[in-house]
Structure 1
Amino acid sequence: MSDDLILVARVAGAFGVKGDVRITSFTADPMALVEYARLLRQDGSPGLTLTGGRPTKGGIIARVAEVQTREQAEALRGLQLFIPRDRLPAPEEDEFYLADLIGLAVETPAGEPLGQVKSVHDFGAGDLLEIQPAQGASWWLPFTREAVPEVRIADRKLVAVPPEEIE
């Protein structure tokens, strides 16, 4: 994935029989997807062009220029949708995008290195950080205030309380 693309949504499937598409939104305001309109694929190629939509739990039901049938909508299930980073508003002071966490150094509250944030995922139960140590297999850390008490974007690091099996 290009560093200048940010994941904003994923196609969840079809809605109804006229080709509407259910889209899970990863934006604070799901209707922002309709405002972005032109969404890209992970490689930067054209993805979907939203021509309208309405909010639903966890996302939107959208009309899409490239889709006319339920079967076409269903075939898009799982498609990840991106926008260029420069289309997002700048974060407020003391705020950040989850994509900003990737590549940050991870250390304990005592300053001992634990690794680097390799990726951020949400498998349905909240955000998880994949931590890659200098050597060995990566491990997962819940992105909660208890597990990650400090995020220092300007210092390019975060402070983490690792689970007992990692210590």
Structure 2
Amino acid sequence: MSEAGRRVLVGRIVGLYGVQGWLKIESWTDPRTRIFDYRNWWLGAEGDAGRAVTGCVGRVQGKGLVAKMPGIEDRDQAESLVGLDIFVDRSALPLPGKDEYYWVDLEGLEVVTTEGVGLGRVSHLFATGANDVVVVKDGTRERLIPFVQGEFVRSVDISGGRMVVDWDPEF
């Protein structure tokens, strides 16, 4: 899918707030309130972000976030949205800085060692306290490689679809 048509998961509707149609949301943006900077949201389940919503407003409420969507005026209408994921168009995200990447752009890259040994493709990434970790799968095996540029990750070529790592293929 071209970048123009790609959507990125940025949050989820997790509950109801009040009786006037407000929704509790979970945001995976950094900072978490950045989710409100995106004017166009797509609501749906993973892989099926089909309902466009424009003009949401939101705020911090206690320790969480709440959002109000146009056309949702009461708790009953809002209840039908609980559990849906919130996506934005990939093209709406700001350009990453030098040597910075969106995880979504790394997913699917071919991963090879500095010696040219294929390890598989990036399945997904996850954060740890120390660093992010790249999960590489080759159909039979899964490898967890620290995403530490220079030490383990030697190069990333998004347009070429390849990541080169300094990693023992047997590990």
Output the TM-score relative to the length of structure 2: 0.70
Change (3 A) 1:81 1:94: same
1:62-100 CA-to-partner distances (Å, cap 9, x unmatched) read: 111132222333332221121111111111111110101
Change (3 A) 1:161 1:2: same
Give yes or no for the alignment of 1:62 onto 2:67: yes
Please state whether the residue corresponding to 1:61 is helix, strand or coil: strand
Partner of 2:152: 149
Q: Separation in 1 of the partners of 2:31 and 2:50?
A: 24
- Distance apart, 1:107 and its partner CA: 3.8
Q: Separation in 2 of the partners of 1:82 and 1:161?
A: 34
Q: Separation in 2 of the partners of 1:22 and 1:112?
A: 46
Please state whether the residue corresponding to 1:45 is helix, strand or coil: strand
Aligned alpha-carbon RMSD (Å): 3.5
Q: Separation in 2 of the partners of 1:117 and 1:128?
A: 10
Task: Give unmatched runs, 5+ long, in structure 1.
Answer: none
Please state whether the residue corresponding to 1:54 is helix, strand or coil: strand
Please state whether the residue corresponding to 2:87 is helix, strand or coil: strand
CA contact (8 A) 1:20 1:62 kept: yes
Give yes or no for the alignment of 1:103 onto 2:108: yes
Q: Separation in 1 of the partners of 2:143 and 2:52?
A: 30
Please state whether the residue corresponding to 1:95 is helix, strand or coil: coil
Please state whether the residue corresponding to 2:105 is helix, strand or coil: helix
Change (3 A) 1:81 1:114: same
- Distance apart, 1:119 and its partner CA: 3.4
Structure 1 residues 18-27 or 74-83, which shifts more?
Answer: 74-83
Output the TM-score relative to the length of structure 1: 0.71
CA contact (8 A) 1:108 1:114 kept: yes
Percent identity of paired positions between Structure 1 and Structure 2:
30
- Out of 37, 40, 54, which is 1:38 matched to? 40
Q: Separation in 2 of the partners of 1:115 and 1:159?
A: 12
Task: Give unmatched runs, 5+ long, in structure 2.
Answer: none
Give yes or no for the alignment of 1:19 onto 2:18: no
Q: Separation in 2 of the partners of 1:45 and 1:20?
A: 21
Give yes or no for the alignment of 1:139 onto 2:139: no
- Distance apart, 1:143 and its partner CA: 5.6
Alignment of 1:123-134 (within 5 A): 129-133=134-138
